[in-house]
Structure 1
């Protein structure tokens, strides 16, 4: 028996555990997948309209935000991820979904940069605590997740204002 299998001092029967698991996954799928698809469509539409076929690096990296968002949601549910890291992922999910950010989301593409950088920094942070295979197992985006993390981190540190980066790091510390 594991701690996860106990509610209020009683063991949860296997049948009930499956029902709970299915409900949690259904709730996350319906709510978060809708957010995921809306986010992807907004970014693609604006980038195509404003930046043309080139799109630039910014658009390329912001297109990864929905994939990183789903990765964070999956990590929050993965039994191999320790509770402390799951709590961090929960905070990241809340930050990304909140309408109030360091850079307002209503600013097309640019408004999603703080979300992306926060997600990437949080993933880098928990990567020291979990097996990188767990990240790869939960990644459904294109390319290698670890390569994306490295590239986005390097670009963020090179091009973003140091004060903004510090504010993002402060948000992470609070999580």
Structure 2
């Protein structure tokens, strides 16, 4: 077999393996139960929340960097699962957003989420469930 062909096949196989591992990671990180449907429904509000959080200088730098990287991922024309695939095409974006928001809330605190939430109180309750926070925060 030609050396270039063997190299190309090895690279293609490696990239396919990485893609399958990324899909497996998404399947493991996905919100359980009804939360994935809620995350997809809330995606427009979440897309307004992320830049607000990313621009908040009171949040730790690593948290803001994570949010900017998330925005870059969402802006990329290539997805792990193409958007034209029904349901799953947008679910991968929702899963990535949910995973990053869980991490952000752990590091930045729920006050930042409450302060920057652009949607309805019901939407905030859904995001709280998505990130593992209590739906009714203490003191409300």
Distance 1:125 1:141, change over 3 A: same
- 1:59–1:109 CA contact under 8 A, matched in 2: no
- 1:92–1:122 CA contact under 8 A, matched in 2: yes
The aligned residue for residue 130 of structure 1 is 108
Give structure 2 stretches of 5+ with no counterpart: 1-33, 133-140
Residue deviations 1:4-49 (CA, integer Å, cap 9, x gap): xxxxxxxxxxxxxxxxxxxxxxxxxxxxxxxxxxxxxxxxxxxxxx
Give structure 1 stretches of 5+ with no counterpart: 1-55, 154-175
Q: CA–CA distance in 2 between the matches of 1:129 and 1:96?
A: 21
Distance 1:77 1:99, change over 3 A: same
- 1:77–1:86 CA contact under 8 A, matched in 2: yes
The aligned residue for residue 5 of structure 1 is none
Counterpart selection for 1:66 from 11, 35, 44: 44
Deviation at 1:109, TM superposition (A): 3.5
TM-score (norm 2): 0.60
Deviation at 1:150, TM superposition (A): 2.5
The aligned residue for residue 148 of structure 1 is 127
Question: Which contiguous aligned blocks of 4+ residues in structure 1 show a shift greater than 3 angstroms?
Answer: 56-61
Q: CA–CA distance in 2 between the matches of 1:84 and 1:121?
A: 15
The aligned residue for residue 77 of structure 2 is 99
Q: CA–CA distance in 1 between the matches of 2:131 and 2:50?
A: 16
Distance 1:57 1:75, change over 3 A: closer
Give the structure, 1 or 2, with the largest relative contact order (CA under 8 Å, sep 6 or more).
2
Deviation at 1:131, TM superposition (A): 2.2
1:112 aligned onto 2:71: no
Counterpart selection for 2:63 from 85, 103, 116: 85
Q: CA–CA distance in 2 between the matches of 1:128 and 1:57?
A: 18
Aligned-partner SS, 2:71: helix
Aligned-partner SS, 1:140: coil
Aligned-partner SS, 1:107: coil
